[in-house]
């Protein structure tokens, strides 16, 4: 079965890249860029109507939302990476899978202000400080253990969000322990090696403005 992943380095498509490495699936990795018009071409918009990554093609079927892709991959290829319906840990699994989007929303706002809005006059120092504080508060709910007892695709979603959060805030101790376990996974390291040259984040840390 052919699996293709359209991917931009340092983006949420890394979640799917990491999942494919965890599964051990054979796949074709197609590197894309936010800085040309390739994600706005009709052929790509047919895969991802919003013109974003990831998009995957699996046996001729296309999916374009990373959370949905993670769950689909686990259901189809790696049931050990999800919690079955009816199991006691299912609620914790689903909560972590979606809580990753809470973290991602704060990360997106911080990325917008620190990086996308290139001119200082376009940025709001108040928003940057507020979003950093909100991210810090949200991270208090993370770690130190895997979200649903055993490692799952929920930890792929959540773990990547925590990995990116360290670019903007100091991690609380439980989240730092959790991230250490993420970084130790061989599949994570393999995915990181395939991620590609930095396209978005060129600094290790983006502190909130003083004020």
Q: How far apart are CA 141 and CA 167, in angstroms?
A: 18
The total of other beta-carbon atoms located within 10 Å of residue 137's CB is: 12
Name the H helices within the chain: 13-23, 42-45, 66-77, 90-111, 125-139, 153-165, 173-184, 186-194
- Residue ranges of the chain assigned to CATH 1.20.1050.10: 90-194
- Residue ranges of the chain assigned to CATH 3.40.30.10: 3-81
> Which residues neighbour 195 within 8 Å (Cβ) at sequence distance 6 or greater?
7, 9, 10, 14, 17
CATH code of the domain occupying 3-81? 3.40.30.10
* CATH architecture of residue range(s) 90-194: Up-down Bundle (1.20)
> What value, to the nearest 5°, has the Cα angle with vertex 100 and ends 104 and 156?
115
Residue 155 tokens, joined? 């930890």
pLDDT in tens, the chain (211 residues): 789 999 999 999 999 999 999 999 999 999 999 888 889 999 999 999 999 999 999 998 999 999 999 999 999 999 999 999 999 999 999 999 999 999 999 999 999 999 999 888 899 999 999 999 999 999 999 999 999 999 999 999 999 999 999 999 999 999 999 999 999 999 999 999 999 999 899 999 999 998 7
């Amino acid at each position: 079965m052919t699996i293709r992943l359209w991917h931009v380095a340092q983006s949420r498509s890394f979640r799917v890249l990491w999942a494919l490495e965890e599964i051990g699936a054979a796949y074709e990795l197609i590197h894309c860029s936010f800085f040309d018009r390739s994600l706005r071409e009709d052929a790509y918009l047919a895969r991802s109507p919003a013109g974003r990554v990831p998009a995957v093609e699996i046996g001729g079927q296309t999916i374009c939302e990373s959370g949905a892709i993670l769950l689909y991959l686990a259901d189809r290829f790696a049931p050990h990476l999800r919690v079955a319906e009816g199991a006691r840990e299912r609620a914790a699994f689903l909560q972590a899978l979606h809580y990753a989007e809470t973290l991602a929303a704060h990360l997106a706002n911080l990325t917008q202000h620190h990086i996308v809005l290139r001119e200082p006059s376009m940025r709001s120092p108040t928003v940057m400080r507020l979003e950093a504080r909100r991210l810090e508060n949200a991270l208090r709910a993370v770690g130190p253990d895997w979200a649903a007892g055993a490692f799952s695709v929920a930890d792929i979603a959540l773990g990547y969000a925590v990995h990116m959060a360290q670019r903007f805030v100091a991690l609380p101790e439980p989240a730092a322990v959790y991230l250490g376990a993420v970084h130790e996974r061989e599949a994570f390291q393999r995915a990181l090696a395939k991620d590609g040259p930095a396209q978005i984040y060129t600094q290790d840390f983006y502190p909130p403005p003083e004020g």
